[in-house]
Amino acid sequence: MISSLLEYWPVLWPALAAIAVILAVVPFLGLYMTFIERKVAAYVQDRVGPNRVGPFGLFQAVADGIKIFLKEQLIPDHVYTALYFIAPSFSLITAMFALVVMPFGPVATDYQSGFRFMVAPGIDIGILMMLAISSLSAYGIIVGGWASNNKYSIYGAIRSCAQFISYEIPLGMSILGVVAIAGSLNIERIVASQSGSILDWNMFWQPVAMLVFFTSALAETNRLPFDLPECEQELVGGFHTEYSGIKFVLFFLAEYTHIVTVSFLTALLFMGGWHFPGLPGPSGASTTVLLLGLFVLLAKVSLVVMVIILLRWALPRFRFDQLMGLAWKGLIPLALANLVGVAIVLTLGLPKHLLIATAVLPILAAYYSASKFNASLAEGNTLRNGLRTQGAVSYE
């Protein structure tokens, strides 16, 4: 056994090192993303935000973490105990396990040895595996809502189930165009297909795919404006109403892990990953070049994270019927149109940059939705005026 371990050690140690990095960094990110979000929220709302614990309030996240770990673990009498404890752990495990095939730094397609910024490089179905694993996180929310034996929790779980089913479809369809152009489900090869100039990044010639992907992924993170499963105005806290202390932290950490995953995927699939003009690829690159590529990727990821945080504090919550309508009537047709455009370009051998013309589709869809909304408002006003004229309704 020891001889076998020594034989595979050159392949094993880079994976173990990457796992150690993920296990060490992800909880730290979850802790300090709360601090960043509170600071951004304070800026948006013209407040100060955390500023008491440590310089500039930097230790506030640590203080909150210590406090919540020391809280009393309350277990309601009416819950299904086994499932009640399994649900938050399952959510976090699936969220972190999806990072196995996620490059968090420059990874060449021909790397065979040495440290790589990835646990399992070279998987030919990497993006499919990631989507399959991340979709399992819905079970944690559903089981948590059911095990809580609370009407608000089960309503939140059902909403989450409907939300996941609806947004998995346009999410997958938006990626198909990228996969078709790259000719591979391997994430490293998809990033390699975007090397060269900035105009080779998928975001510039598949803007509709990026819009659909980002919106669908944001809905799957259960954050505003799509946080219907935990809508406090209607459901108190939704699926995690009965959770407190460390059990709530696990749900909370799973949510922020999803945000990190979404941000990395957006940067890798549509923003060129670790590529930047003037920066060579990772094949045979020096340590300095690899670190520069890591910095470029993390900068892009940070930009996406900042957009996600700002959207939470800038947009109101959708109604549930609006949420479902956006998926089935808006995102799925847009994803289909983008996929048809990609198929035409590939079949006829046309330049892929012609796909940028699809950017007009969301504009037309928004104009159509606005006209329908205005027409419904006018119809409602006409009806109310008619009833007021007949004396059936009085607003005095």
Query: Over the stretch 228-256, which tens digit does the pLDDT of each residue have?
Result: 777 766 777 777 788 878 888 888 888 88
Is residue 251 within 8 Å of residue 344, measured between CB atoms?
Answer: no
Query: Over the stretch 208-232, which tens digit does the pLDDT of each residue have?
Result: 889 999 998 888 777 778 877 777 6
Torsion angles phi and psi, residue 231, rounded to 5:
-60, 110
Give the whole-angstrom CA distance, residue 321 versus residue 186.
36
Q: What single string gives the DSSP state of each residue in 333-377?
A: HHHHHHHHHHHHHHHHT--GGGGGGGGHHHHHHHHHHHHHHHHHH
Q: How many CB atoms lie within 10 A of CB 383?
A: 11
pLDDT band at 87; cut points 50, 70, 90: confident
Query: Residue 18 in 3-state DSSP?
Result: helix
Largest CA distance in the chain: 93
| Residue 304 confidence (pLDDT) | 92
Question: Does the pLDDT of residue 371 top 50, yes or no?
Answer: yes
- Domain borders along the chain are 72-389
Residue type, 18: A
Tokens of 222: 């259960």
DSSP class of 327: I
pLDDT band at 395; cut points 50, 70, 90: very low
